[in-house]
Amino acid sequence: MNLKDKISSQNTQLLQGHERKLAFLKSEVDVPKDLIQQLKDFQIAIPSWALGTGGTRFGRFSGGGEPRNLEEKIEDVGLLHALNQSSGAISLHIPWDIPKDAHQIRNLAAQHGLAFDAVNSNTFQDQPGQTHSYKFGSLQHSNQATRKQAIQHNIEVIQQGIELGSKSLTVWLSDGSCFPGQLNFRKAYQRTVESLQEIYAALPSDWKLFLEYKAYEPNFYSTTVGDWGQSYSMVNKLGEKALTLVDLGHHLPNANIEQIVALLLMEGKLGGFHFNDSKYGDDDLTAGSIKPYQLFLIFNELVEGMDARGMNHAKDLGWMIDASHNVKDPLEDLLQSVEAIQLAYAQALMVDRKALELARDANDVVACQEILQAAFRTDLRPLVAQARLELGGALNPMTLYRSENVRGELIKIRGEKTQATGL
């Protein structure tokens, strides 16, 4: 039996229970009439570097059956998409994943219903045969030839992306310093902007450049694009195709990410997201696993802010997961993340915005909390399942993945000892 048949046979078995839960939910709350369609339109890109087991500097414990090449990574994302119909794009990190034959890779992805999301450059590691080292930075480097090399790499990544049909470049820099005194902050900033300007000049007219910030790691004293303010001031200097990218794990503890998102959106400078969750720093844990309320609050601002600007929820921002799976099966982890993101989005769509604005105007703080939490605490899983069902996905992707022993089958084909490129 192929996967499609397995999905429909599971759906037949689960249908009655699902319909009962959905009918109950609809009898309890008003579901906006476009909500299911909005969920169906919302696709979340999967990073090519998160399909294998992740590690820390202390070790890496593979679960086996990891994709051995780009083709197998595309198959994995295709599998996720077949199950949830919401992972319809893959994002490549170059040079971890360089398509040998872009045409053939594009066709393979299309067979799985996948598009290519942002391409990501890598100037945080030295590559074999590279002339200049990035040990002391890339776009900020004191040596002009090193900067040139890093700029050239980004331009090459854009060219790879054009062949794949990508429409955006994500730049994340590890540039910064590890000790006080090491860096002239002003010069590092200016060099970085000048380097980014050269990259920006190579961007096709219908492309976007996302500049991702991160507070620390691998540099531990300063990071040259360390927070949203630094990214925002740089993208403003570059031009309208340059936007800030928010990775949820890249803030200092307790940062109010929802407020950052609201303001960047208001200024027209929010480009996209890297979803994950964290307890401490860039932990790259499953989205919604630690702070699901924060994820909802972020989506609450996103929905409000995008509607205020008349934006298309599904298309006008880049939606991507950026995670690392150290103890879970990567595919199971990604299924959980996608579902958590969809749930947070659905909850945000359920917020009674008129009532919330009235309560705000009346300074009725209690009512404001009641309204938000009414949406957050309602179990909306039947709505997400319904969207999947209507798209031909599985009512319960996780149980199907497990009952069909998908990982076991992948291990049979790929082996126990495979190691995917990536984190």
Range 113-132, binding ligand RM4 (CB under 6 A):
120
Q: How far is the CB of 324 from Mn ion (least distance, A)?
A: 8
Question: Judged by CB under 6 A, which of 66, 75, 97, 212 binds ligand RM4?
Answer: 212
Is residue 332 part of the contact set for ligand RM4 (CB under 6 A)?
no
Total number of residues binding ligand RM4 (CB under 6 A)? Answer: 10
The CB density around residue 132, as the number of other CB atoms within 10 Å, is: 16
Tokens at 69, concatenated: 């090449």
Q: How far is the CB of 274 from Mn ion (least distance, A)?
A: 4
Q: Residue 243: phi, psi to the nearest 5?
A: -140, 160
Cis omega (within 30 of 0) on the bond before 218?
yes
216 versus 293: smaller Cβ distance to ligand RM4:
216
Range 63-102, binding ligand RM4 (CB under 6 A):
93
Q: How far is the CB of 323 from Mn ion (least distance, A)?
A: 9
Q: How far is the CB of 112 from Mn ion (least distance, A)?
A: 24
Question: Judged by CB under 5 A, which of 247, 329, 333, 339 binds Mn ion?
Answer: 247
CA distance 67 to 414: 7
CA distances from 54 to 249, 283, 325, 411 (A): 16, 11, 5, 17
CA distance 318 to 232: 17
Range 204-223, binding Mn ion (CB under 5 A):
none
CB 406 within 8 A of CB 21: no
Distance of CA 267 to the CA centre of its chain: 21
Question: Judged by CB under 6 A, which of 31, 151, 380, 423 binds ligand RM4?
Answer: 423
CA distance 175 to 287: 26
By CB under 5 A, which span of 188-196, 269-277, 360-368, 382-390 interacts with Mn ion? 269-277
CA distance 292 to 342: 12
Is residue 277 part of the contact set for Mn ion (CB under 5 A)?
no
CB 35 within 8 A of CB 299: no
155 versus 215: smaller Cβ distance to Mn ion:
215
CA distance 210 to 188: 19
Task: Find which of ligand RM4, Mn ion, none residue 120 binds, CB within 5 to 8 Å per kind.
Answer: ligand RM4
CA distance 22 to 376: 17
Is residue 166 part of the contact set for ligand RM4 (CB under 6 A)?
no
The tally of CA atoms less than 13 A away on the side-chain side of residue 2 is 3
11 versus 277: smaller Cβ distance to ligand RM4:
277
Task: Find which of Mn ion, ligand RM4, none residue 329 binds, CB within 5 to 8 Å per kind.
Answer: none
By CB under 5 A, which span of 138-146, 260-268, 304-312, 314-322 interacts with Mn ion? 314-322
CA distance 274 to 263: 17
Q: How far is the CB of 321 from Mn ion (least distance, A)?
A: 9
Q: How far is the CB of 66 from ligand RM4 (least distance, A)?
A: 17
Range 316-375, binding Mn ion (CB under 5 A):
322
Contact residues for 228 (Cβ-Cβ < 8 A; gap 6+): 213, 244, 246, 260, 264
CB 272 within 8 A of CB 210: yes
CA distance 389 to 376: 23
- The alpha-carbon radius of gyration of the chain (Å, integer) is 22
Is residue 214 part of the contact set for ligand RM4 (CB under 6 A)?
yes
Total number of residues binding Mn ion (CB under 5 A)? Answer: 4
Is residue 322 part of the contact set for ligand RM4 (CB under 6 A)?
yes
Q: How far is the CB of 214 from ligand RM4 (least distance, A)?
A: 6
Q: How far is the CB of 383 from Mn ion (least distance, A)?
A: 28
Range 354-383, binding ligand RM4 (CB under 6 A):
none
Question: Judged by CB under 6 A, which of 66, 117, 175, 282 binds ligand RM4?
Answer: 282
Point out which residues bind Mn ion (CB under 5 A): 247, 274, 282, 322
Point out which residues bind ligand RM4 (CB under 6 A): 93, 120, 172, 212, 214, 247, 274, 282, 322, 423
